[in-house]
Structure 1
Amino acid sequence: MSWSLWVAITPFLFLLALSPGPNNFTAMYNGMQSGSMSAVVAAIGRNLAFSILMLVSALGLGAIIVSSVFWFGVVKWLGVVYLLYIGVKTWRSAPIALDEHESENKSIALSGHYLRGRQEFLIAISNPKAILIFTAIFPQLLDLTLPVTPQFIVIGVTFIMAEFFAAYIYAVSGNTIRRLIKSQAGLNRLNKGMGSLFVFASMLLASSSRS
């Protein structure tokens, strides 16, 4: 891939990564709960899932999933159910004071990173829209006069970098919002607001189609 082409498509990939969606909502919520850097570490989970989906798309299996009503539906409804579960769980979670939560995180940091990363992974791997991006959009960014595989790798690595950047931006905004809210009532409304976002994301995914 030429340097000029990479410079041209990189802003598009970053804008794509920054678009609102389930994983970015998750990064925002993780930023509220455990800080921006913890949320960025958790984004390893989504990028592992995206790497798998990119490999699936490169092997041609992504096209099969996109074109198959059955398999597209299976992936989609798994994602819908999981997002709905996260939304209800977040809505019902008890508000915890920020200083209390930071103290708690010091003792369970390792397990917390794993759980948040696993959540990011499951949300990303069960989103058929990601397969659509890698199957339908990425090939349009390739220069077909050059070898395809190295270009696909460069685009994939750039997209993963963009996803880490997006996770950081959303996590910082979430952490900022959390620090501005001190009362228990405010924290409770914050949990319900984020829970509603996840439920809304599940509704959007449920209404999605292969087109």
Structure 2
Amino acid sequence: MDWQIWFVTAPFLLLLALSPGPNNFTAMYNGMQVGPQKAIIAVLGRNVAFVILMTVSALGLGAVIVTSAFWFNIVKLLGVIYLLYIGIKTWRSAAVALDQHELESGVISRGHFSRIRQEFLIAISNPKAILIFTAIFPQLLDLSLPVAPQFFMIGVTFIICEFISGYVYAVSGKQIRRLIKSQKGMIKLNKSMGSVFMFASILLASSSRS
């Protein structure tokens, strides 16, 4: 890929990664709960999912899902169910002051895999991610040059942008976290974030292939 094209493409991919969505809201929530350092580790989950989806797209299988109403709706349904589950679980979660969370370092330290898995499942079950890789990525390619190296470069750039985006949202969550120290504050936080995930599930349910 020509570096001049890359310098134009990279900011676009960063803006795409920074757009609000379920994974970024998850990073923000993790930042509130355990801090940006641990939240950014969880971003590995979404990027593993994105690597899989980009590989599928590169192999041409993504186009099958995009053009097939059946498979698109199957993937979408899985995403809706999972986001709804996360939303209800967050809404109903016990209200514990964040100061107490800080004392429970043992519980938090065992949560890396759970957070990584959560980011992975949210990303892998969102058909819009496939649409991004099959509809947007090809527009960034110079067909007069070998496609595979360009797709690889775009993919790596997008993964880096996702780490940056996850960290930005996690740091934002960390700042909000400082304002919420009481049990009442935690109740409002859990209900607010639960509502965000449930709203995201509604948006995903209303999505279409167009």
TM-score range, shorter chain: over 0.9
Secondary structure in 2 matching 1:146 = coil
How far apart are the structure 1 equivalents of 2:167 and 2:29? 12
2:194 paired with 1:195: yes
State the AA in 2 paired with 1:94. Answer: A
Gaps of 5+ in 2: none
State the AA in 1 paired with 2:99. Answer: D
How far apart are the structure 1 equivalents of 2:112 and 2:49? 16
Gaps of 5+ in 1: none
**Counterpart of 1:150?**
149
Report the TM-score when normalising by structure 1. Answer: 0.97
State the AA in 2 paired with 1:3. Answer: W
Q: 1:110 Cα deviation (Å)?
A: 4.7
Q: 1:148 Cα deviation (Å)?
A: 0.4
Q: 1:59 Cα deviation (Å)?
A: 0.2
Counting matched residue pairs gives: 210
**Counterpart of 1:29?**
29
Contact 2:62–2:134, Cα closer than 8 Å, also in 1: yes
Deviations 1:2-28 (A, max 9, x none): 110000000000000000001001101
How far apart are the structure 2 equivalents of 1:95 and 1:116? 19
Secondary structure in 1 matching 2:151 = helix
How far apart are the structure 2 equivalents of 1:59 and 1:50? 14
Report the TM-score when normalising by structure 2. Answer: 0.98
Secondary structure in 2 matching 1:180 = coil
**Counterpart of 1:97?**
97
After superposition, where does 1:15-164 map in structure 2 within 5 Å?
A: 15-104=15-104, 106-164=105-163
Deviations 1:100-152 (A, max 9, x none): 21221x21455311000000000000000000000010000001111100000
How far apart are the structure 2 equivalents of 1:42 and 1:130? 18
How far apart are the structure 1 equivalents of 2:111 and 2:30? 10
